Structure 1
Amino acid sequence: MKPYKVKYSYFLISCQARATQHHIKEFAVVIQQCVMMTSLKRWCLLPLAAFLLLSFVPAVTEVVDSMSDCDQFLLNGTSPQVPGILEGGNILKKSRYKPICQTFDNVRRFVTLYDTQNKIPVFSAYKFRGENETGRPDTPWKIEPQLEERNSNNMRDDKYHHQATNDDYKNNSVYNRGHLFPASHAFDKSEKISTFTLTNIVPQAVTFNGGSWDKMEKCIKCVLEKYCINNNDVLEGFVVTGAQPSNNNKHNNKINIPSMLWSAFCCYSRDMKKWIASAHWGDNTAESKSKYLQTKSLEDLHHELKTAGSEFNVFPGTQCPLRTTVAEFYPKLKKNCQCPPNASTRSARRTTTTTSTTTTTTKTTKNNSENNEGEGGEGGGALGMGGVGFSGRQPDISDLHPTTSEPQTNTTAQHLSFSTYSPRSSSAPSLTSYSLCLYIFCILICIPD
């Protein structure tokens, strides 16, 4: 091969290094056209074959360096303030807490901060866009192999040491798999499937999962669908769900069982001409079917989860109202939304649950602990506080008053397609640049001697 042709071979490799599986089909077409341009010699086909072979590379890790690498699921791109874990957007113990851009079919679906010691998530955050396809998918549970340190030269057993596995949840009638990002809040089938990862799951009491937590998820979904349409006529609400781990209560002597689960949302409402928000939480224990989670304000949640030395803030630096709730909308919603009766529209204090006046006979039944936790039983989360204790109620924190100013809404496409060549990439590089690159190579390397 002549020297200049060797140089162009390196040119091809440089182009290929930027390619991803997402672009294989287009490259195949380009190469076919290139072959038709001239009568190639055998040596000319070799680098093209190498190009195709090297294009089929595995996707890079979904475990990223920072929450900012997957901030499209966070309101204003700002991470929650979690005492002792995530402060000022910085993860304090990076060897323990891992941010995961939850990815399925090469599309980032939501973001999770995972606690590899407690083997439960700190929280999952997602953007609610409505439900375009209904129904719970029949899909196997998934794990995150990038959480395991498997690049050692030494032999080791085949167990997962930094996360839960599907076997950990089998044959248990007390706790089942509680979703942080519930499938019922996902936009389409692919996004629903993406929620079935064990890094999005905590052990949740069966009757709590299918009881008051289920009612809360349905109620908030109704609010999001009706009131979270912004000025761009786009349905968009930001939700963060997590839980407070227990001090020493473990499932299968391995996975921390959270003592309390929590959830909060915020969005701009075009119809109400203001930002709206609410929060809910409840004890992760068995309960009667007549129980509801009370609707609380963000301020109430912040007080509940703050520590003696640090504040908790689920939507820091935003216009989300701290002292009001969305309970005023409940009478306007359908009855099957299952919102709590007599809910308060302002900040409340300690009480976390309310019971309906109707007497209900409670039946403790075993949910299918394999894959069929009820669609209404997909709650859960993890605040990942380890052994950090929570203080009681503290003096009021300053209030960010609701505003009627319009939101700065991202008008990009709902489906976020991204390249797997870099964990920091949120959108696919231009296909035109790859095509042009390959065409130039074909013209230069295949010219007659």
Structure 2
Amino acid sequence: MRGCRNVPRQANYLSLATVVQDFNHVERCKDSLYMGTPPRGIIDNRLKKICQRYADKPRFVTLYDPHKRIPVYSAYTFKKTEGDSRVDYPWMYEPQLAEIDGNGNMMPFPTGYLHMKFEDSQAVLDDYSDVVLYERGHLNPDQHQSTPHDRAATYTLTNVVPEIREFNIGPWREYEERIRVRLNNFCRGTAYIVTGVTTRGNTIRRNNQDRVAIPEDVWSAYCCTEYDRNSPHDVRILFPSHAALAKNSKEGNSVHEMTVQELEMFLKNHMDVDQNLQIFYDNCVSPSPLPLYLQHTI
């Protein structure tokens, strides 16, 4: 019985940490997810759920693969912005992937020696330092955030994947800007975005070791149930949800927009997921604008 008495204390302790057993364990962490619900159907026996905390506040969430040392996806709420140029923020790492202590905040990389246990659990700056083909590609991009703290929080390597430079600064950046303008202009409520990757086994190597998985595809989906229903038809059909998919490559890397269901069909064949994969709770079904007692009349 002594072990049973320790269980509540352990659960409470974990609720303080950044790496959590469930995104709902940390106050306000689930606010980054539509209906407080993460994508379902992802087989995550060894994946880590990170509540990305910066300056003592949860900013977004990431499902992280500590073996491939990249995120599977990051999920966040879109903040309306002017799309101004990026500001230089320090790159950070996630201490909680290596040890459960402290206050759960992401931390800037130290200028000196970083203990080996951190390299075991996540990517570090040295993994990207001598790689000329790849950029550090954000899954939650800073131009989809507005406050300095929310923007700074996107500069953690647990929110980054190696993206081919031509893809990162070309088609994918253009897509992120297109979504920024679309949601700025036509989303009236909160927009929830999930952006992730698929992998095929290619990696960045350092010191003769496989270090960081290189994504084969990059995908994204948004959900905004409160949108401008008077918008033009070609815009209206892109709500309440829509998705996109692209190859992380030098050529043939154009971004294809599609329905979320079409993206899910692709991911079922290219990710470690089951047939119940669903990115957004209840497929981001837009609530009826009519009161309940009138709904049966239409």
The residue aligned with 1:293 is: 255
Q: Does 1:305 align with 2:267?
A: yes
Which runs of 5 or more structure 1 residues have no equivalent in the other structure? 1-58, 86-92, 152-156, 231-235, 321-401, 408-449
Report deviation, 1:73.
Answer: 0.6
Q: Find the residue that maps to 1:303 and give its secondary structure.
A: helix
CA displacement at 1:221 relative to structure 2: 0.7
- In structure 1, what is the Cα distance between the partners aligned to 2:288 and 2:164? 40
* Shift in CA distance, 83/98, structure 1 to aligned 2, threshold 3 Å: closer
* Partner-residue secondary structure (3-state), 1:295: strand
TM-score when normalising by structure 1: 0.51
The answer (yes or no) to whether the contact 1:80–1:314 under 8 Å persists in 2 is yes
Taking a change above 3 Å as real, the CA distance of residues 406 and 200 of structure 1, as seen in their structure-2 partners, is farther
Residue 62 of structure 2 corresponds to: 112
Distance (Å, rounded) in 2 between the aligned partners of 1:319 and 1:278: 10
How far has the Cα of 1:158 moved from its partner?
A: 2.3
The amino acid of 1:304's aligned partner reads: F
SS in 1 for 2:61: strand
- Return the offset for 1:149: 4.3
Q: CA deviation at 1:287?
A: 2.5
Give the counterpart of 1:315 among 272, 280, 283: 280
**TM-aligned CA deviation for residue 133 of structure 1:** 8.2
Residue 125 in structure 1 maps to residue 71 in structure 2: no
- Residue of structure 1 in register with 2:156 after alignment: 197
Quick one: structure 1 residues 240 and 150, their matched pair in 2 at CA, closer, same or farther if it must change by over 3 Å? Answer: closer
1:342-381 aligned within 5 A? none
Deviation at 1:303, TM superposition (A): 0.7
RMSD of aligned alpha carbons: 2.5
Q: 1:331-346 to 2 correspondence within 5 Å?
A: none
1:32-431 mapped onto 2 (5 Å cutoff) = 60-69=16-25, 70-85=29-44, 93=45, 96-131=46-81, 134-149=84-99, 158-159=115-116, 160-230=119-189, 236-246=190-200, 248-252=201-205, 253-272=210-229, 275-287=239-251, 292-307=254-269, 309-320=274-285, 404-405=288-289
Distance 1:224 1:211 in 2: 20
Alpha-carbon displacement from aligned partner over 1:250-293 (angstroms, at most 9, x marks no partner): 112211111111000010234217852110011111127xx641
CA distance in structure 2 between the aligned counterparts of 1:149 and 1:301, rounded to whole angstroms: 35
Could you tell me how far apart the structure 1 residues matched to 2:183 and 2:289 are?
19
Amino acid at match of 1:280: A
Deviations 1:95-132 (A, max 9, x none): x2111111111111101111111111111000112127
Distance 1:120 1:183, change over 3 A: same
The change in CA–CA distance for 1:135 and 1:83 in structure 2 (over 3 A counts) is same
Does the 8 Å CA contact 1:211/1:287 hold for their aligned counterparts? no
Cα deviation, residue 62, structure 1:
1.2
The AA in structure 1 aligned to 2:197 is: A
Equivalents in 2 of 1:301, 1:239: separation in Å?
14
- Render the CA deviation track for 1:201-230: whole Å, top value 9, x for unaligned: 011111111111111101111111011113
Closer/same/farther in 2, CA of residues 189 and 133 from structure 1, 3 Å limit: farther
Identity in percent:
33
The structure with higher relative contact order (CA 8 Å, sep 6+) is 1
Secondary structure at the counterpart of residue 214 of structure 1: helix
Which structure has greater strand proportion?
2
TM-score, length-scaled by structure 2:
0.76
User: How many Å separate the matches in 1 of 2:20 and 2:276?
Assistant: 25
